[in-house]
Amino acid sequence: MKKVKKAVIPAAGFGTRFLPITKAVCKEMLPIVDKPTLQYIVEEAVDSGIEDILVVTGRNKKILEDFFDYTPELDALLEQDGKKEFLEISQKMEKLVNMYYVRQKHPTGFADAVMYAKAFTGDEPFAILLGDDIIYTDSSLKPGIRQLIDCYYDTGKPTVAVMNVNDDDIPKYANIRGRNIADDRIDIDLIVEKPAVQDKFSNDAVIGRYVVESDIFDIIVQTPPSPKGEVYFTDALQLLAKQNRLIGCRFAGKRYDAGNKLKYLEANVEFALRDKSLGKQFREYLLNLAEKLR
């Protein structure tokens, strides 16, 4: 079996849920504490053994390329001022991983964005990480996408990340039906995009982590478009499920929806509390604030 060494990050969306800031700043660069959301995604991939990453961008998103590039003026200034700690932070970005970029010419959805990766991935299996989903794992756990990669190695089948959601959230996600083959694994036989609550198969929802094989491109081409004319990636996954070739992985860790304003704020608070330099003072501030608001 070929190793999963490449990853694709679709990042061409407009981020309309975060207007007005996303008129000028792409949503992938919105910070959680002091790092943009995209950096968390890239670091998860790198910590999982990924060596090459393709970011599928759109118009006005050159800032994504610049962030992971060499910044000689900034580095020279930091070195001149003796700010070694900040210099290391700046230089880390350019050395993190091999980064590649391609522009999605029209915002026609997730499946279309994946198609732009065909030349990049070739005949290799690859990971897909959506930028709205941040998965936090502590040092005792493997990174989120690594857990899926291991599941793929064990089963030999494409794998999607699955988590349990409340009924109210069922219409927000792809919903699955299947049988448990282990505590953390589901053999999926049906996957449907955003069903109504009364039509759900389970409370298992698919979130933005996937490991797929190179035939996903042919499958997307064969997938009938929706009434809106867009091919849904979920429908392509359903073709895999019909072939008994799709596994759900109940990952260990906490997932944050960085595309939801409230969840994004929760992520900022919780990551700040975990920060070694900020956590203690920030916790005291929150406790004092809560006392004042009682």
pLDDT of residue 14: 82
| First-to-last C-alpha distance (Å) of the chain | 58
Residues 19 and 72 in one domain: yes
pLDDT band at 46 (very low <50, low <70, confident <90, very high): very high
Whether the predicted pLDDT of 3 surpasses 90: yes
Q: Note the pLDDT tens digit of each residue in 222-271.
A: 998 888 778 899 999 999 999 999 999 999 999 999 999 999 999 999 99
Whether the predicted pLDDT of 196 surpasses 90: yes
Which has more confidence, 207 or 16?
207
pTM: 0.94
pLDDT of residue 235: 95
Residues 147 and 282 in one domain: no
Burial environment of residue 284 by CB neighbours within 10 A (0 to 12, 13 to 18, 19 or more): exposed
Average pLDDT over residues 263-286: 96
Whether the predicted pLDDT of 275 surpasses 80: yes
Q: HSE on the CB side for 132, CA within 13 Å? A: 17
pLDDT of residue 135: 97
pLDDT band at 41 (very low <50, low <70, confident <90, very high): very high
Average pLDDT over residues 71-84: 88
Residue 175 located in a structural domain: yes
Whether the predicted pLDDT of 31 surpasses 80: yes
Residue 39 located in a structural domain: yes
Residue 119 located in a structural domain: yes
Residues 95 and 202 in one domain: yes
Residue 227 located in a structural domain: yes
pLDDT of residue 94: 83
pLDDT of residue 143: 97
Q: Note the pLDDT tens digit of each residue in 180-192.
A: 999 899 999 999 9
Residues 163 and 85 in one domain: yes
Residues 26 and 135 in one domain: yes
Amino acid at 264: Y
Residues 209 and 277 in one domain: no
Q: Note the pLDDT tens digit of each residue in 87-146.
A: 888 888 888 899 999 999 887 889 999 999 999 999 999 999 998 999 999 999 999 999
Residues 210 and 225 in one domain: yes
Average pLDDT over residues 32-57: 96
Residues 255 and 293 in one domain: no
Residue 202 located in a structural domain: yes
Nearest to 287 by CA among 269, 260, 264, 275: 269
Phi/psi for 108 (5° steps) reads -110, 30
In the chain, the number of structural domains is: 2
Residue 1 located in a structural domain: no
Residues 174 and 138 in one domain: yes
Please report, rounded to a whole number, the percentage of residues in the chain having pLDDT higher than 90.
76
Residues 90 and 164 in one domain: yes
pLDDT band at 147 (very low <50, low <70, confident <90, very high): very high
Residue 25 located in a structural domain: yes
Residues 252 and 289 in one domain: no
Residues 57 and 157 in one domain: yes
CATH number for position 188: 3.90.550.10
Residue 73 located in a structural domain: yes
Identify the domain containing residue 80 by its residue range.
6-259
Non-local CB neighbours of 231 within 8 Å, separated by 6+ positions? 109, 111, 112, 220, 223, 224, 225
